Structure 1
């Protein structure tokens, strides 16, 4: 088995991890060297049966992965992967959190970038904070509107994306539309200046990506705002807000509980929008497993490889992930070797019994519960600013009952949360249906309007029913 190539600890502090990292990078580089053409994306490579059979991946497994990789390609549409940009900047060791390491305008001479033509777009490498409060490099995109409709400066909005994968090959900034699916572009065309983090570990390989980790994903969002202000001094409003979907919704919930937003370092944080959020991964997975038992077509088991990578990113290198079976553990390194993104990763265990899920461990192991307790949100912590939560009741990825429970827990802790439930809508349709609500809500926050009630739960009534 290949050791995990990108551990969650700083290499400088641990010689053992340094050796593991070196061996893993050599293995990965040899694989890519033998399979890549010049300029090819690291997640768009061919593989042979000989490459994957040592990991217990037979013909059915191989076909599943190929189909998953085919769907991953649709996310990126062949947009070039800028290896030089994602490489850790030479000045990183002397930099501080929030510092800008690299800033480049997107060069769209090939016309492959699909963003509104009135926007000016940049990519940025900056410094965030990692698992042990150590500094880590992260990357982000920044879009500037054609003009400022609100006074002399555009409003600043920090965007947190949903699940795209856990590997360095999967950053939204390397997608032809920055992984837009009616998310950040809705805000950009409304006149906001948008800074969208990739999250540490996606794009740059200094550290493993901390998947579905509201605490650390929230840090990446926060420090992207500091960096955007340093990249473009005196350009944005003093006020700023945030918006995220799915994994990103959890990040925004985590951000709202981060005491940094109560300071003036980033400007005046006025609140966040969390759409179909995942702040409590253990509770969510329990609901997903139950749904899977009741519905054989449930997509819940597909997340097992991604959840395994999330746990792996925060436990010691010698510890094993308990939520998957031994056969799944044998196969998990393929996600790194092949640099699989969301659909490729989801395909890894599909041919295994129980799709590689160790149900007993999911329900009884302390590993997953501890992960939620340490890195989750909406668990009774104080929230520092107002939060709007938007959730579809037919969401097959984020169970709305878990979201409602998170809402009640946050409100019981004295936080200011508004939850709007959209009957009959799924994980992505709620994005467009809720746009009038969240755009109006954000406008009020920037204008200094406070919520009239501390906590509000409402069901939206659709225009057409039946």
Structure 2
């Protein structure tokens, strides 16, 4: 068994920089007014900014998150920087060891791109290498200051430190490091970030991590894990990939989600339908991140102007969605027809799941039937598509659970699923619901 002191020796040459704010900046009231955010809206944003800064307003290490000098000569999976984190400054159980890592990933167009992540070893010592889980986080925002590794709260890691698993948790490209923009809901890019975070982590700690690994994701991360299961690299047994867990996947098939969302707003006067507005705007922001000229006719000019504010203020998720709190669908939606939205169709071809891509490793999907953030129907449709192509996938629907509640409620099932993958158990309930 290797002593924990070896972890410290690994990172002796790395240091800290001063704390500076990197997200949720206050904007002039007149600028917000120009973008359609009135006094009531501004009050909501101010409150939401404060909430975001409770999570992301901690130390932002501009030196660490800047692109490494050795990036240009690197290839996907290379470690660019590695920092040992002072555990007394973060919200983890005593005895947990955490590193921040910058590594090289691969963008949608196949070009190399820097990304950041954290690696965490649990409080339990292991005689053998730790079993490795790659974590894909849910929506935190779409700008650099909203990266999970920035936060001392360690939101992506809560609940894992008392397990037997080591984790590598990517921030996704464009969060933390801003060499390129964050391509929100681009599942293909997020899957690359997951794969190459694992390659880099195993390179950094070759004797402390198993070659075998599984993935785990919720919401945005749930879709990323699903797309990962279809990635050509993990079909190769040499990758060590054993399977994944996708909880409440946010964007399995984005164009179809636009269609179903618009149908919901056209046919429903139920105020609960308002809960789906963030998902609709999220798809718009995600598609626009890949196709900057995206100008959908179903979204009003008022909404497009309003959602320029998150970029100006570098808002994280709470502030970003607070812009919707004082608006309404009739102001934000210009049409209920997206059938000719060719750009979102192209985005779905690149990033959708269950569209004919084959998978060879087991995937557990879980969704709550009371989820008012992402419709369970979109998950069911993608599940049926995946099954029609013979992919080994199981869907569990949890009665009474919402978007967040399904994580804890399904925990016994997904912990058992992960353990079974490492133990070599058969996956005998594929395409069961």
The answer to whether the superposition gives a TM-score over 0.5 is yes
- Which residue number corresponds to residue 152 of structure 1? 128
2:64 maps to what in 1?
85
Q: State the alpha-carbon separation in 2 of the partners of residues 42 and 452 from structure 1.
A: 47
Q: CA deviation at 1:291?
A: 4.4
Give me the whole-angstrom Cα distance separating, in 2, the residues matched to 1:416 and 1:353. Answer: 41
Match of 1:428?
Answer: 404
- Correspondences of 1:272-351 after superposition (within 5 Å): 272-278=244-250, 279-292=252-265, 293-297=268-272, 298-315=274-291, 317-351=292-326
**Distance in 1 separating the partners of 2:376 and 2:43:** 33
- Partners of 2:194 and 2:102 in 1: how far apart? 13
Q: What 5-or-longer segments of structure 2 have no aligned partner?
A: 1-17
User: What whole-Å deviation, never above 9, does each CA across 1:348-386 have from its counterpart, x for those lacking one?
Assistant: 355456352344354542222322122111222101211
- Give the one of 70, 80, 93 matched to 1:101: 80
Q: How many residues align?
A: 411
1:142-174 Cα distance to aligned partner (Å, 9 max, x none): 00123455x611100000001111111100011
Give the equivalent residue in structure 2 for 1:382: 358
- Equivalent of residue 371 in structure 1, options 330, 347, 351: 347
- Correspondence for 2:226 among 239, 253, 257: 253
Partner of 2:420: 444
SS at match of 2:72: helix
Report SS of the residue matched to 1:313: helix
Structure 2 counterpart of 1:171: 147
**1:235 equivalent in structure 2:** 208
Once the two structures are TM-superposed, the CA of residue 289 in structure 1 deviates from its matched residue by: 4.0
Out of 41, 47, 67, the residue aligned to residue 67 of structure 1 is: 47
Q: What CA distance in whole angstroms lies between the structure 1 residues aligned with 2:175 and 2:231? A: 22
Match of 1:118 in 2: 95
**Which residue number in structure 2 is paired with residue 129 of structure 1?**
106
CA gap of 1:431–1:319, structure 2 versus 1, over 3 A, is closer
> Quick check: 2:105–2:115 contact (8 Å CA) kept in 1?
yes
**1:451-462 to 2 correspondences below 5 Å:** 451-457=427-433
CA distance in 2 between partners of 1:280 and 1:226 (Å):
28
Counterpart for residue 49 of structure 1? 29
Q: State the shift of 1:223 in Å.
A: 0.7
**Deviation digits for residues 294-334 of structure 1, max 9, x if unmatched?**
4214311134443222111111x445355532222233332
- Taking the aligned partners of 1:353 and 1:454, their CA distance within structure 2 comes to 41
- Tell whether 2:115 aligns with 1:138: yes
Deviation at 1:399, TM superposition (A): 1.5
Using the TM superposition, give the Cα deviation of residue 73 of structure 1 relative to its aligned residue in structure 2, in angstroms: 2.4
Change in 2 beyond 3 A, CA 1:144/1:73: same
Q: Does the CA contact (< 8 Å) of 1:304 and 1:324 recur in 2?
A: no
Call closer, same or farther: CA 1:320–1:188 in 2, change over 3 Å.
Answer: same
Q: 1:132 to 1:322 in 2, by over 3 A?
A: farther
Taking a change above 3 Å as real, the CA distance of residues 324 and 68 of structure 1, as seen in their structure-2 partners, is farther
**Inter-partner Cα distance in structure 2 for 1:65 and 1:211:** 21
- Partner Cα distance (1:152, 1:86) in 2: 32
Give the corresponding residue for 2:241. Answer: 269
Normalising to structure 2: TM-score of the pair? 0.89
Deviations 1:256-281 (A, max 9, x none): 0001112355x411100011113122
In 1, are the aligned partners of 2:77 and 2:104 still within 8 Å (CA)? yes
C-alpha displacement at 1:176, in angstroms?
2.0
State the SS of the aligned residue for 2:397. Answer: strand
Superposition pairs for residues 397-408 of structure 1, below 5 Å? 397-408=373-384
TM-fit CA distance, 1:404? 1.6
